[in-house]
Structure 1
Amino acid sequence: MDNGDSEDGMVENRVTSVDVARAAGVSQPTVSRAFTPGARVSPELRARVEEAARKLGYRPNTLARAMIKGQSNVIGLVVAYLDNPFYSEAIELLSRTLKEFGYHIIVFTASNDENSVDLAVEDLLAHQVDGIILASVSTTLKLTQEIRNAGIPLVLFNRGQNDPAIPAVTATNYAGGRKAANFLVGLGHRRIAHISGWQGSLTGVDRMRGFLDGLADHGLEPVVCVDGRYDRATAMAATREIFAGPERPEAVFVGNDHMAFAVLEALQHDLGLRVPEDVSVVGFDDVKMAAWRVFDLTTLRQPANEMVAAVVDMMMQLINGKPLERARVEIDSALIERGTTRKRNRE
């Protein structure tokens, strides 16, 4: 039986759950339960229903089910930096984890300005999503109130916010920046630069503040501190300018790995400097590419798997009307030492 058009242009009758029930020798409610995530049905019956559905070419109408239940089983995700490999990894983890709870994600991209984010959220609300995750984008009080008025749970992922009422999951950004400073000073570096994350984001600000405070603990200041805006081209241009002079820094802490890869390229290929012999480089995120031998980047790990698990846990609690134990979750950022920094003197 075909769900599509016939050769004479007539649309044949669609396969229904009743057809599947008849073929599987079960009731129609059993078919519905077999295709409902989390519903109780024996493995044997589920397998029999799925086999009958496969043979008949049946696909459950999730939209109709959502209209009946008043629930779409879709979570909306708004993200700004898809060129940053951290977010491609995180989206894959989010999709996989949410699927275990019977949810799917719909992804909207937005630049980091109020109008772009507002439009993306408006689209998500029109899609009747059950929850919204804002990743790497900031929200305004007006937008937050609009989401609350719609009764839609909201969680921030990797983007802090000054409003303590908004649930958020981040790395320990301030502590991570401080850890980077202590590490580089401990290697003997004194002339240290910082190419920060976008200073319009609390994430970038916190990493920079931690780094500056860490240097101050040793009586030091950065030789230069530049906003890299989480942008590859900006980070490369800043690197060429910072390191072109005779009094170049001995080390640089970069606000994320995406920019750190650009910094490495500018240092080694544009300026002919050796890493780590001439310059030590530390990033932040520990994306999979950081461990590739071509980069071998020393970095602060932002554990995407733990952060995603925390975001999904928060979202499921909110959807089910349960109070959150903690509205703010920070996951520790461990220092991962690789080949872009000097070896420590262990004598």
Structure 2
Amino acid sequence: MNDRIFVTAHDVAREAGVSQSAVSRAFTPGARIAADTRERILATAERLGYRPNLLARSLINGRSNIVGVGVGDLGNPFFVQTLQLLSNSLNEAGLRLLMFPAEGDAGSEPSIREILHYRLDALVLLSVGLSSTLAEECRKAQVPVILYNRTTRDQDASSVIGDNATGARTIAAHLLAGEHRRIAYLAGTEGSSTNVQRESAFYAYMAEQDAPEPIRENGQFRMEAATAATRRLLTARDRPDAIFCANDTMAIAAINVARHEFGLDVGRELSIVGYDDVPMAAWPAFSLTSYSQPAQAMVDETVRLIHALRAAPASHERVMLEGSLVVRGSSRAVRPHAA
């Protein structure tokens, strides 16, 4: 049996003829150390195969530079896109991402026990709920929590969301301007703040315009459930002439069902609008009209909050960012009003 032999900072210091503290400074960005000494230490470390133990350092300075990210639904391309952007932004900031899959259905929280085994500088929850238990345990462990694309009533958590109410109202106005009268809403996960905000604003705008109340089905933010829900809508006696789907995953499912199972001309016989504007929405196969969430700006705000909370753990904020409607071929063109 071959046991691994780890090279230590003490070994590097002895070989380079310096103190162990000099080795530590050589691997600490911004630390004061002569350039030639740093180069000699780094060259010695490379030759010996030494790598600093970042976890051991975290025990000394109280920071691990690790950000935990709880993710509920990796089948949603919006979160895949967000993870990529967040990983890049954290890397540029000298931080590392450690992902925790949520347990059970979409929207459930990741394992508390697993999260708190790590010395995290912050925990970001991507469309994952924050229970009172998780909030309390993170408080005790002094791990600041940031909800992404979700809100919470907990005063000890920050959040970064898009303006869901404005987005939903904008979509409602677009569909009414396209002279739709039998409009359906394909809802996401029941009780999630994202769905609640989009649904309530959509229905409120329709009521304000004296439009018929939208038909409602639930697609749970998922492809399979949305496929079944769209079949129910399109086999109804008075089927809708437009469907607002609470995210793009469901909208893409709806397009597939309408086009390939019912032979409908999407964009003419049936308008379908999504939410998030994921990269797939622009593909010619879908040409999906969607309300675009500013993913990069939301990630930038999340990273800013991480830095702020590392410096002042109680400095929680609620950030809301505006998006915009991107009109493509899946919704009926709006006729200009006669002069």
Please report the TM-score for the alignment, with normalisation by the length of structure 1. 0.87
**Match of 1:319?**
310
- Out of 256, 261, 267, the position equivalent to 1:276 is 267
Aligned equivalent of 2:95: 103
Q: Which moved more, 1:301-310 or 1:133-142?
A: 133-142
Cα deviation, 1:220-249, whole Å, max 9, x if unaligned, reads 134411221112111111111111234221
The answer to whether the Cα contact below 8 Å between 2:25 and 2:33 also exists between their aligned partners in 1 is yes
Confirm whether residue 32 of structure 1 aligns to residue 18 of structure 2. no
Query: Offset of 1:140 from its aligned partner?
Result: 2.1
CA distance in 2, matches of 1:67, 1:16: 17
Question: Residue 261 of structure 1 aligns to a residue in which SS?
Answer: helix
Aligned residue number for residue 265 of structure 1: 256
Q: 1:50 to 1:194 in 2, by over 3 A?
A: farther
Could you say which residue in structure 2 is the equivalent of 1:75?
67
Pairing 1:184–2:175 present: yes
Letter paired with 2:96: H
Amino acid at match of 1:213: A
Q: Is the 8 A contact 1:165 1:327 kept in 2?
A: no
User: 1:249 matched to which residue of 2?
Assistant: 240
- In structure 1, stretches of 5+ residues that fail to align are 1-8
The answer to whether residue 162 in structure 2 is matched with residue 171 in structure 1 is: yes
For 1:11 and 1:150, the matched residues in 2 are separated by 35
In the comparison of the two structures, how many residue pairs are matched?
A: 337
Match of 1:286 in 2: 277
What pairs with 1:12-23 in structure 2 (closer than 5 Å)?
A: 13-20=5-12
Spell out, residue by residue over 1:226-274, the C-alpha distance to the aligned partner (whole angstroms, 9 max, x if none).
2211121111111111112342211110000111111111111111111
- The 3 A distance-change label for structure 1 pair 281 and 24 is farther
Match of 1:147 among 138, 148, 168: 138
1-side partners of 2:147 and 2:188: how far apart?
Answer: 18
Shift of 1:163: 3.1
In structure 2, the CA distance between the partners of 1:30 and 1:234, relative to structure 1 (3 Å rule), is same
State yes or no: 1:344 paired with 2:334.
yes
Residue segments in structure 2 that go unaligned for 5+ positions in a row: none
Identical aligned residues as a percent: 39
SS at match of 1:339: coil
Structure 1 residues 260 and 53 mapped into 2: Cα distance closer, same or farther (>3 Å)?
farther
Please list the CA deviations of residues 88-139 of structure 1 after superposition, one character each: whole Å capped at 9, or x if unmatched: 111122222222232212111114679962x612211111222111221112
> Which string of whole-angstrom CA distances, capped at 9 and with x for unpartnered residues, describes residues 285-314 of structure 1?
111111112122110111111111111211
Cα distance in 2, alignment partners of residues 42 and 186 from structure 1: 68
Query: Judging changes above 3 Å, is the alpha-carbon distance between structure 1 residues 43 and 309 closer, same or farther for their aligned structure 2 residues?
Result: farther
TM-score computed with the length of structure 2 as normaliser: 0.89
Of 127, 132, 151, 2:123 maps to: 132
> How much does 1:327 deviate?
1.6
Task: Tell me if the contact between 1:74 and 1:104 (Cα under 8 Å) persists in the aligned partners.
Answer: yes
Cα distance in 2 between the residues matched to 1:94 and 1:77: 10
Alignment RMSD (CA, Å): 2.7
Give the distance between the partners of 1:69 and 1:89, measured in 2 at CA.
33
Q: Which amino acid aligns with 2:89?
A: T
Q: Deviations over 1:301-344 (max 9, x none)?
A: 111111111112112111112663x6211111211111211222
- SS state of the match for residue 111, structure 2? helix
Using the alignment, how far apart are the partners of 1:312 and 1:190 within structure 2? 43
**Match for 1:73: what amino acid?**
N
Equivalent position of 1:329 in the other structure: 319
Are 1:213 and 2:204 counterparts? yes
Given residue 343 of structure 1, which amino acid in structure 2 is its aligned partner? A
